A = this chain, B = another copy of it.
Amino acid sequence: MNQIKVFCPGSVANVSCGFDVLGFCLEPVGDIMSVTKTVTPGVTIGTISGQDLPKDPEKNVASVAVKSLLEAHPSEYGFRIDIEKKIKPGSGIGSSAASAAGAVFAVNELIGRPYSRNELIQFAMAGETLASGAAHADNLAPVLLGGFTLVRSNKSLDIIKLPSPPKLVATVIHPKIELKTIHSRAILKNTIPLEKAVQQWGNLGAFISALYTNDYELLSRSMKDKVIEPYRAMLIPRFEEVKASAIQAGALGSGISGSGPSIFALSKSNEIAEQVGNAMKKQFDDLGLEYDVYISNINNEGIKILH
Chain A residues packing against B (C-beta within 8 Å) = 18-22, 150-154, 158, 160, 162, 188-195, 197-206, 208-209, 212, 218, 221-222, 227
Please determine whether B206 and A204 come into contact, CB atoms closer than 8 angstroms: no
Please determine whether A152 and B205 come into contact, CB atoms closer than 8 angstroms: yes
Please determine whether B209 and A153 come into contact, CB atoms closer than 8 angstroms: no
Q: Which residues of B contact A192 (CB under 8 A)?
A: 191-192, 194, 197
Please determine whether A21 and B205 come into contact, CB atoms closer than 8 angstroms: yes
Given A194-B189, A194-B192, A208-B208, A152-B21 contact (CB < 8 Å): no
Please determine whether A197 and B197 come into contact, CB atoms closer than 8 angstroms: yes
Q: Which residues of B contact A191 (CB under 8 A)?
A: 191-194
| C-alpha gap A204/B202 in the complex (Å) | 9
Number of copies: 2
Please determine whether A205 and B208 come into contact, CB atoms closer than 8 angstroms: yes
From A162, which residue of chain B is reached at the shortest CB distance?
B209
Given A158-B221, A205-B150, A221-B158, A21-B188 contact (CB < 8 Å): no
| C-alpha gap A6/B160 in the complex (Å) | 41
- Most chain B CB neighbours (cut-off 10 Å) among A20, A153, A194, A198: A198
From A228, which residue of chain B is reached at the shortest CB distance?
B194
Please determine whether B200 and A201 come into contact, CB atoms closer than 8 angstroms: yes
Q: Which of B153, B202, B203, B206 contacts A199 (CB 8 A)?
A: B153
Q: Which residues of B contact A212 (CB under 8 A)?
A: 209, 212
